[in-house]
Structure 1
């Protein structure tokens, strides 16, 4: 019986090879997209899962009225470990903020992130050194490790695990350091580094004002995390209140709290960070599922459309004694065969597309890795889509009544009319949502690329540097040498560059208002180099000696924050310094379009600031190449600490990386829109063929009675035209809600447009008319005699 059913299935599939090809092809394309989404989803949601204590590790964060941060002071972690027994381990880390140059002879590596960690943090984060992680001796010793790749670059012939000496920075400076070995840098972890310096304790002697460490807690299984958060908050407030007598400060401290953020959250949706990666992953996952659902709907619709061709077969089998269960199994087996063929084809398509996908998301995913989840996901998906796409057609086919179908009356039955049309409307509704989404994403990206940023990143070169220039007098000789090079218009140094990174935050008081605002420590010519616009007052100038002592420039947001109508000459106090406001600049989008411009104070002297290391140069466009070549040649003389290690980047390229996630989303929506409309049109084409073939006699009679080709095409198109209009109307509210939610993630965005809705409707109607007309034209041009000669 099985052999007979298999033969019938294969013959039926071959007889209807056009519909079979559309079914298998459409499903294969959707499955290929879904496979890529599964690979990406599995990769993104499995960061740090290799850590044996993954579920019990938390990051300690602080919540202020104006912001959240993962940065904490060293004493807080010690106090937590001392007071709360549910904390099994506590460790702290501190990242580096500059690029470190390491050399061994002619071999050089540049480490962008040399992580400092105490030994407990190394254990919590499961850091593994070659030959085993050693515990430093005493409180002073630091053990330094480099990644395997860096060690291989510096010591290509090294075969043992013995420590090695390297030169730090310029060879002329003669600074050396010991590297104890290599350490495994897991690329699938939130904790990334080029090298690690491990000590028994970090932050000795630092108090609660040094908030530049990350504190990790490893909790005992079963710990009530919410209760522990409350206890840590009370502890932190108590520590800050020690010795405090100022009522205003006491009230402010009472408004501060802490939180515990699971290690699992750090990659996609940290409580004190950007959750854009999570939204991208969620959007991509939903798109993948919807594309697969559309393909399943397409499969179901075409299977139901083919039902009449199998009606007499079912009738005969039932008369011969076949049970409905047996027939359902037979039809499900046929569908399983098609789904299996689609899965094989999908794997081939996914393998072909994967390089482009990896390039888009900067990944190295592979279909043939055992740990990527496809081994169990694909069989599960195969049987799931077989069930979803096949269960209803199988029930419909196996449920035909023999007496009805053998009389030939089933062809005129309306049993599946509403379902077929409903599924077609569903397909086009999803396609319309994707197309509208694509138009709106394109509009927002066009807006972001064309809007005035408030500063000019073009022709600004960022010079990577490891020297500190906190004192303007120290940078002045460097500036003078740089400006002697033809083409260089200005030079400055600051604690940060406008590339999307957050600035430091501190508490300042002005106009009787105390608030936490951002700060950025700069030097002369900072605003001029970036062409930032002045709203009132003046920029920093060497003509005013007080500018290097206690002068400050604030932005519009800071002036509004403190309610300063006439800020020039007013005082703003912070970090034990009374700053005199000498200028107000217009807000500029230093953190891109997703984050609003923060109230910021700019000063040349800041006792609480960070090292000024970020050198920026404004260079004439037509002299860029010559100026960079001269800088490289003269850099050992200009900046001896860097010496021969001249590195640079263009600021506009660094800022452009802020658009990367949205450009990825744009590419994803483009692919999704193309796939969904393509699959929907495949189904529409096959469905139109079925409907047209069922109306051949009607078309023949109408032609004989004088109907023109245009009238017949209009007749056939009318029902599909109506369905597509309904699909557009249904999808508009959903598209509006989804795209509006996405637009609200931007602080600076376009007004919600209406044109994409109209354009999408016209596009889908045009594609529908063309697709249906191509199929209908064959029936319209056919000889009426061929359709009526048997009547």
Structure 2
């Protein structure tokens, strides 16, 4: 019996190979997209899961009145471990703040991310040097390791794990460092590095004012995290209040709190950070599911539309004694065969599309590995889509009544007709949402690329550097040498460049009001190099020696935050210095478009600031190549510490990376819109063929009675036109809510336009008319005699 049913199934599929190809092809394309989404979702949600203490590790962060941050001070981890028994271990790490070179003969490595960690943090984060994690002995302050990849780059012929000596910085610097071995750098982790130094203790001598470390804690299983969070806040306030007598400061400390952020959150949605990756992942997952649902709907619709061709078969089998559940199982097997073929094709398409997908999302995914769980996910998906796409058609096909179908009544029920139409409307509703979303994403990205940033990144080159120029007199000779090169208009140095990276923050008091401000430590010509606009007052100038000791420039957001009136010449106090405000600059979007411009203070001297290492040079466009070549040739004389290691990036390229996530979303929506439209049109094409074939006699009669081709085209298109119009009306409110919510994630955004909604309606209606008309043309042009000669 099974062989007979299988033979019948294969014959039917072959006889209707056009519809079968559309069914299988549409499902295969949707499955390919869904497989890629599954791979990416699994990858993004499994960061750090190899850590055996994954569920019990938290980052301790601070909540100040104006901001939230993961950065804390070195003594805090020790205090937490000492006073809170729920905490099994506590440690700290610190990121490197500049790129430096390491040398072994002719082999050079540029370490962009050299991290420090104490021994406790290394244990918590499951860091694994080759040979095992060991505590630095008493006479050794730290043990340094390079990632295995970097160790191979510096020592390609190394076969043991013995320590090595490497040169640091320029070849003539004479500075060396001991590398104790290699360490696994887990790229599928939030804690990645080029190298790491592990010490018994880091941050010695630094108090609670040095908030530039990350504190990790490992709690005991079953700990009440909310209760522990409150205990840590109480402990933090207690530590800050030690020896404090000023009532105003005491009141401010009581307004500070802490939070615990699980290790599981850090990659996608950190409490103190940007959750755009999480939103992109959710959007991508929903798109993948919707595309698969649309394909299943397509499959269901076409299977129901083909039901009349199987009516006699069902009637005869029932007369011969077949039960309904047997027929249902038979049709489900047929559908399973199609879904199985679609899955194989989907895997093939996914494999072909994977290089482009990896390049778009900057990942290295692979289908043919046991780590991605596809080995059990795909069979499950196959069974699920078989049930979703096949259950209702199988019930419809097996439900024909023998007495009626054998008399020639092959029509399906009105409920089936309503279902087909409803599913078609649903398909086009989703397609319309994707089209509208794509238009609005394009509009926002166009706005971001064309809107005035408030500064000019073009023709500005960021030079990587390890020298520290905290005093203007140390950078002055470097600037003078740089400016002698033809084509270079200006040069400056600062603690930060406008590339979206977060700067430091500190408390500043203006006229009795204390608030937190971002601070950036700069040198002369900083504003001129970036072409930042002056609103009032002046920039820093060598003509005013006091600028190097207590001069400050603030931005418009700072003026608004304090409610300053005529701020130029007034005093603002921070880091035990009374700064005199010499100028106000217009706000500029250093953080991109998602975050509002932060109140910021710029100064040349800042005892609480960071090191000024970021060199920026503005070069004339037509002399860019020659100026860069001259800088490279003369860099050893210009900046001896860097020596021959001249490295640079264009500032506009760095700033452009802020748009990366939105460009990914744009690509995803473009692909999703094309896929949904393609699948919907495939279904519409086959559905229109079925409807048209069912009305051939009606069309013939109408032609005999004098109906024109235009009238018949209009008649056939009218029902589909109404369905697509209904789909637009249903989808517009949903699209409006979704796109409005997305736009609200930007501090600077376009107003929601009406044109995408109109365009989506025109596109879907035009596609529908063309698709249906192509199918209707054959019936319209047919000779009425051929359709009616047997009547």
Please report the TM-score for the alignment, with normalisation by the length of structure 1.
0.99
Cα distance per residue 1:443-482 (max 9 Å; x no partner): 0000000000000000000000000000000000000000
Q: Is the 8 A contact 1:511 1:563 kept in 2?
A: no
Q: Does 1:693 align with 2:672?
A: no
Gaps of 5+ in 1: none
Residues 398-413 of structure 1 correspond to what in structure 2 (within 5 A)?
398-411=398-411, 413=413
1:132-211 aligned within 5 A: 132-138=132-138, 141-211=141-211
Residue number in structure 1 paired with 2:111: 111
Correspondences of 1:313-328 after superposition (within 5 Å): 313-328=313-328
The Cα of 1:555 is off from its aligned counterpart by 0.1
* Separation of aligned partners in 2, 1:211 and 1:91: 14
Deviations 1:173-227 (A, max 9, x none): 1000000011000110000100000000111111111101101111111111111
In the TM superposition, 1:694-713 aligns within 5 A as: 694-713=694-713
Question: In the alignment, is residue 375 of structure 1 matched against residue 371 of structure 2?
Answer: no
Q: Which residue of 1 aligns with 2:527?
A: 527
Residue 679 (str. 1) matches residue 649 (str. 2): no
Query: Which position in structure 1 is the counterpart of 2:608?
Result: 608
Q: Equivalent residues in 2 for 1:201-240 (5 A)?
A: 201-240=201-240
1:58 Cα deviation (Å)?
0.6
The answer to whether 1:593 aligns with 2:596 is no
Mapped partners of 1:529, 1:39: distance in 2: 45
Describe the superposition over 1:408-445 as per-residue Cα deviations: whole angstroms up to 9, x where unpaired. 22327424111000000000000000000000000000
Whether contact under 8 Å (1:139, 1:200) holds in the other structure is no
> Which moved further from structure 2: 721-730 or 232-241?
232-241
Q: Are 2:309 and 1:292 aligned? A: no
Counterpart for residue 414 of structure 1: 414
Q: Deviations over 1:730-770 (max 9, x none)?
A: 00011011111110000000001110000110000000000
**Contact kept? 1:60, 1:215, Cα under 8 Å:** yes
Separation (CA, whole Å) in 2 of partners of 1:582 and 1:82 = 47
d(CA) in 2 for partners of 1:373 and 1:434? 29
How far is 1:133 from its partner? 2.0
How far the C-alpha of 1:512 sits from its partner, in A, is 2.2
**Structure 1 Cα separation of the partners of residues 421 and 248 of structure 2:** 68
Does the 8 A contact of 2:589 with 2:597 survive in 1? yes
- For 1:418 and 1:471, the matched residues in 2 are separated by 78
Structure 1 position 637, deviation (Å): 0.6
Question: Structure 2-normalised TM-score?
Answer: 0.99
- SS for the counterpart of 2:50 is coil
Distance 1:385 1:139, change over 3 A: farther
Q: How far apart are 1:139 and its partner, in Å?
A: 7.3
TM-fit CA distance, 1:398? 1.0
Identify the residue that residue 735 of structure 2 maps to in structure 1: 735
Structure 1 segment 286-685 matched on structure 2, within 5 A: 286-411=286-411, 413-685=413-685
Query: Which residue in 2 is equivalent to 1:72?
Result: 72
Q: 1 CA distance for matches of 2:289 and 2:135?
A: 49
Equivalent pair of 2:459/2:620 in contact (CA under 8 Å): yes
Mapped to 1, the partners of 2:328 and 2:254 lie a distance apart of 68
Any conservation in 2 of the 1:492–1:525 contact (CA below 8 Å)? yes
Deviation of residue 140 (structure 1)? 5.1
Give the secondary structure class of the aligned counterpart of 2:3: helix
The separation in 2 between residues aligned to 1:364 and 1:377, in whole angstroms, is 20
**Range 532-541 or range 234-243, more displaced:** 234-243
Preserved CA contact (<8 Å) 2:307 2:412: no
Once the 2 structures are TM-superposed, how far is the Cα of residue 248 of structure 1 from its aligned partner? Answer: 2.1
Distance 2:118 2:414 in 1: 74
Structure 1 SS opposite 2:583: strand
Deviation at 1:97, TM superposition (A): 0.4
The residue number in structure 1 matching 2:765 is: 765
Trace 1:710-721 onto structure 2 (pairs within 5 A). Answer: 710-721=710-721
Q: For structure 2, list consecutive stretches of 5 or more residues without a partner in the other structure.
A: none
Q: CA deviation at 1:521?
A: 0.1
**Pair 205,413 (structure 1): closer, same or farther in 2 beyond 3 Å:** closer
Aligned to 2:85: 85
Q: Would you say the 8 A contact 2:503–2:519 is kept in 1?
A: yes
Is the Cα contact below 8 Å between 2:308 and 2:412 reproduced in 1? no
Report what 2:44 is aligned to.
Answer: 44
Question: What is the total number of aligned residue pairs between the two structures?
Answer: 791
2-structure distance, mates of 1:511, 1:558: 13
Quote the Cα distance in structure 2 between the aligned partners of 1:413 and 1:629: 78
**What SS is found at the alignment partner of 2:429?**
helix
Per the alignment, in what secondary structure is the counterpart of residue 182 of structure 2?
strand
Higher alpha-carbon deviation: 235-244 or 737-746? 235-244
- CA distance in 2 between counterparts of 1:634 and 1:505 reads 36
Matches of 1:23 and 1:247, distance apart in 2: 75
In structure 1, how many angstroms separate the alpha carbons of the residues matched to 2:617 and 2:415?
74
Counterpart CA distance in 2 for 1:442 and 1:512 is: 46
In structure 2, the partner of 1:259 is 259
The answer to whether the 8 A contact 1:467-1:641 is kept is: yes
**Secondary structure of the residue that 1:461 maps to in structure 2?**
strand
Q: Is the 8 A contact 2:457 2:530 kept in 1?
A: yes
Q: Please tell me whether residue 790 in structure 1 is matched to residue 790 in structure 2.
A: yes
In structure 2, the residue matched to 1:100 is: 100
Equivalent residues of 2:703, 2:784 under 8 A apart = yes
Counterpart for residue 248 of structure 1:
248
For 1:726, the equivalent position in structure 2 comes to: 726
Structure 1 residue 247: Cα displacement:
2.1
Distance in 2 between residues matched to 1:679 and 1:665, nearest whole Å: 21
- CA RMSD after TM alignment: 0.8
